[in-house]
Amino acid sequence: MSAKEKRQCRGKRFDGWHWFNCAINANHEHEGRWYCKTHHPPSVDAKTVARKARWALEAAERRHGRDVVQARDRVVEAAKAWVGGMTHGSTYALVDATEDLLALEAGKTVIEEER
């Protein structure tokens, strides 16, 4: 094959209505077929893995934030019950809710270190 001969990418693109062949010249070979950098299967797989890892980390951060808010709400409710009526159970509920909140807030540093 001469240096001037161009290969067309075997990838497909979708414009929202139709599928088209990719119009970019191919520079990367994979299993006997030629692809551009965008459609090169190992590149696509690497981008997919990175995107899914980023989404998993973002989901973990959202879950953790929601858990902290719920723990703070439990502390507030337990404190209201404790102030409203000094019962034996309300004291333990306040201590348990506070310990849960402190554990969750300590866990926040673990998620931030993963980034």
Contact present, 7 and 34 (Cβ < 8 Å): yes
Residues 91, 98: Cα–Cα separation, whole Å: 11
In terms of pLDDT, which residue wins out, 3 or 113?
3
Predicted confidence (pLDDT) at residue 111 exceeds the cutoff of 90: no
The whole-model pTM stands at: 0.58
Q: Which CATH architecture has domain 50-114?
A: Orthogonal Bundle (1.10)
Task: Return the domain boundaries, the chain.
Answer: 1-39, 50-114
In 3D, which of 101, 69, 96 has the Cα closest to residue 81?
96
